Amino acid sequence: MEGVRQVSPWRSERVPTGVPNLDRLTGGGLSQGDLVFIIGGPGTGKTVLASQMAFHWAAQGRGVLWLVTLGEPNEKFLAHLSEMRFFDASKVGVTFHLVNVSRFLPEGLEGQLRVIRDTVRSGRYDFVVIDGFQGFRGFLAGPSEERVFLSDLSSELALSGITQVVTSDAYPERYWESPEFTVADCLIVLTRVLIGGRERRQIQLPKMRGRDVIGGWHSFSVDNSGVSIHPRIESVLLPGEAVSVAEQQALGVPGLDHLLDGGVPKGTLTLLVGAPGTGKGFLVDHFLAEGLRQGQPCLYVCVAKAPSDLLARAERFGLPFREGEASGMLHLRTYDPARFDPDECAAHIFDAIESYGIQRLAVDDVGPLVEDVTASGRTLEYMTALAGHLRGHRVTAMLTSHQPELFSTALSLRALPLAEVADNVIALRFAEIEGRLRRMLAILKTRYSHHRSATAEILLEEGALHVVPHPRLRETRPESAPYYAEQVTQHEGESLRPEQRLRP
């Protein structure tokens, strides 16, 4: 093009997009001079993604020409865009230029190319965005003319070092049927799918010339900050470091810590599995409270629970959750089950580890997470990557999982997909003993430490939680235990019931 700067056609500068994790998928961003297609069905986020990149470039002082085809007027487009946090009105007309070419579309191939050439000549641009190529397509004479239009335009722009971004309505499963995609250097596909009854936005990069990308589908979210991509964690995380068994972490319940010979090794993942009401949430609360008492930053991730309910429950047991939250040592994150995204949740966990130095993590419960990744066929891959990342950062974690059988004693670890990944597995169940409903606990597995094989009872009283192991004959009282179950003929837990006397 005359009047436009010429650059070396062999130059391949990488251009960061400013979209969280998109550059991670592409290996550093887009390539200068490339033709980039963003495709997907209506409402998948194509325009948001393109405009987010455009304003990122405009904020760096790089010229962006945004061409609008058939669609909403410029004023309406900017009004909608102003709701986004990345929108900067001060860049409009300075480094971000918006031009509506709708009236030139009936002029056909040559007329459309002429208008774009003249517009590009009139300013100094680094990026040209065509939003809604389907508007051009309707005024071109068939697939061959569409290909000529894109090929000629992208070649001229590439010689000037201008990167071209084009959005177009197309369904991902049939994108190869559209001839214009064959000339694209980079193809970004957006879609919406249903997984376990929940809608999920997904992104894929099936084509990028001269570059290795992280393949497969990745989830993403759209809000007023723009598009945020959450790569499949198993595709971006390296294996974690080995666990050091030298440093034990108490779980905050003396009877349970006694069964675990003092606790679990730092950096391990403990799975609590049991029926609803068996006490999993209470054990998680005490696990985090012990971390707070030791000065460890903690993260509590919950599904379908309100933060106020968690704080109120902790108060009944005198646990310092409110103080921890006020001091910035305890971070609460809750999710709506209908909108839960495992990769987004993992991204939030990793961000918290980096930002706050999290040392203890609790997830209550992992049911929606397991359902989602199981439906995608990636349960072990996801959980292995998650556990490895936590281990590498020496984060001690506790996860809860529902076991539907209320009174079952035949619990098979093979039926629990998380048990293969978890370092420690603790099972909770109900048992009817002498006409009373009891909460029972047993440690099924520890990977890096020893544990006692005795069954224990969980006693819940107002403001107190006890785990009472079966005492051994002639076993001496542990000096560190604040209570001790005497050797009696009835079940050991009876010595801690209200009508019985506690030994000091």
More confident residue, 184 or 284: 284
Average pLDDT (230-258) is: 82
**What confidence score (pLDDT) does residue 472 get?**
43
pTM of the predicted protein model = 0.77
Decide which of 126 and 199 is more confident: 126
Give the tokens for residue 264: 């679990």
What are 199's two structure tokens? 């809608």
Q: What is the mean pLDDT of residues 116-125?
A: 82
Label residue 83 by pLDDT band (50, 70, 90).
Answer: very high
Answer whether residue 106 shows pLDDT above 80: no
In a 10 Å sphere around its CB, with 0-12 CB exposed, 13-18 middle and 19+ buried, how is residue 200 labelled?
Answer: buried
What's the pLDDT score for residue 402?
A: 84
Tell me 423's DSSP state: S
Q: pLDDT at position 239, please?
A: 63
Report the percentage of the chain scoring pLDDT > 70.
Answer: 80
Write out the two tokens for 401: 């999982």
- CA–CA distance, 146 with 151 (Å, rounded to integer): 9
Residue with tokens 């130059």: 11
280, two tokens:
């999993």
- pLDDT of 49 strictly over 90: yes
pLDDT, mean of residues 144-167: 83
Question: pLDDT (tens digit, 9 = 90+) per residue, 13-44?
Answer: 889 999 999 999 998 899 999 999 999 988 89
Per-residue model confidence as pLDDT tens digits over 382-399: 888 999 999 989 999 999
The CB density around residue 65, as the number of other CB atoms within 10 Å, is: 23
Q: What is the pLDDT of residue 123?
A: 81
**In the Cβ-directed half-sphere of 112, how many Cα atoms lie within 13 Å?**
26
SS3 366: coil
The residues that bridge with 440 in the sheet, in sequence order, are 429, 457
pLDDT at 299: 97
Residue 173 predicted with pLDDT over 90: no
Residues 244-257 as b/e (b if ≥16 CB within 10 A, e otherwise) read: eeeebbbbbbbbbb
Query: Tell me, what's the pLDDT at 198?
Result: 77
For residue 458, the one-letter residue type is I
pLDDT of residue 180: 65
pLDDT tens-digit map of 181-201: 778 889 999 999 887 677 889
Select from 203, 70, 184 the least CA-distant residue to 131: 70
DSSP 270: E
Tokens of 80: 């909608």
Report the C-alpha gap between 281 and 278 in whole angstroms: 9
Residue burial 434-457, b: 16+ Cβ < 10 Å; e: rest: eeeeebbbbbbebeebebeeebbb
Q: Which of 253, 249, 250, 248 is nearest to 281 (CA)?
A: 253
The residue with tokens 């979210």 is 221
Summarize the confidence of residues 447-475 as an average pLDDT.
Answer: 77
Measure the CA angle with vertex 410, ends 408 and 413; round to 5°. Answer: 115
Rg (CA), the chain: 29
Confidence of residue 481 (pLDDT cuts 50, 70, 90): very low
CA 401, 290, 391, 263 torsion-angle sign: negative
| Residue 498's pLDDT band (cuts 50, 70, 90) | very low
Residue 469 burial (CB < 10 Å; 0-12/13-18/19+)?
buried
Q: Which residue has the higher pLDDT, 408 or 198?
A: 198
Q: Are 271 and 390 in contact (CB under 8 A)?
A: no
Domains in the chain with CATH codes? 14-231 (3.40.50.300), 248-496 (3.40.50.300)
Q: Calculate mean pLDDT across residues 131-158.
A: 76
SS (H, E, C) 464-488: EEEEEECCCCCCCCCCCCCCCCCCC
- Indicate the average pLDDT of the chain: 82
For residues 166-187, b (16+ Cβ closer than 10 Å) or e, as one string? bbbbbebeebeebebbebbbbb
488: pLDDT confidence band, cut at 50, 70 and 90?
Answer: very low
Selection from 65-69, 215-219, 410-414 with the highest mean pLDDT: 215-219
Q: Which residue has the higher pLDDT, 413 or 198?
A: 198
127 against 483, higher pLDDT: 127
Largest CA distance in the chain: 99
CA dihedral sign of residues 88, 93, 97, 98: positive
